[in-house]
Chains A and B, each alone.
Chain A
């Protein structure tokens, strides 16, 4: 009984942990990130 309860609690914490992480994953990505990659591209073109 106590074991079963501990297992349920661990599951609950696990679900919450994934929710916390997924909330950040689902945030819109700031434009800066893509701008930086585009600059990386420009550098490649100059080299090439």
Chain B
């Protein structure tokens, strides 16, 4: 790549550092991909594509800046460019929600988690991703705005609308589920939160 041995060594060191950081981000990329794509297999394909894109673009990454936000942005762009190509787009969210539910690995997982997944699937995509980034991914509003390519105020309002909508869906039991005891989702989430707070 570079004719000078020292410079070449520096390139390789930089690549090593980049690779280590990228590897440490894989679990987070998988989680974000799962919330976008729903189906775990499709999500891993998406996360892998994003990882390869990030690796190929490593020279354009400024070391020391936020690599997590950078890779999330790549993953998100990848997802939406694939989704635009898909003519089945309108069906995707609902189907993905159903597959995610079926694909839950742990059959003993708390019911409320499934209900939260279904409730999330009912939100508009842009509200869902904003809430996930800020509420679960640990990003500041400013970082989420950069990832989504929109204004900070837009992210703030999406997150707050998402929170309100989620609360409403879970309280009313609006999510679609056969034989579900409707109003109980909020109750079991609250019970879980109480257990968490007593542990503390």
Q: What is A's interface to B at a CB cutoff of 8 Å?
A: 6, 8-27, 29-30, 32-34, 36-37, 40-41, 44, 47-48
Query: Judging by beta carbons under 8 Å apart, are A21 and B190 in contact?
Result: no
Q: Is the interface of B mostly helix, strand, loop or mixed?
A: helix
Contact indicator A16/B22 (Cβ below 8 Å): no
Across the interface, do A30 and B44 meet the contact criterion of CB distance under 8 Å? Answer: yes
**Hey, which chain A residues are within 8 Å of B52, CB to CB?**
36, 40
In the complex with contacts A24-B34, A26-B27, A30-B44, A13-B136 CB distance below 8 A: no
* Chain A proximity mask over B158-197: 1 for CB below 8 Å, otherwise 0: 0000010011001100000000000000100110110010
Chain B hits for A15, CB < 8 A = 192-193, 196
Asked whether A20 and B117 contact (CB < 8 A) given A27-B27, A29-B30, the answer is yes
Say yes or no for B69: interface residue by CB 8 A criterion: no
B48 touching A21 by the CB < 8 A rule?
no
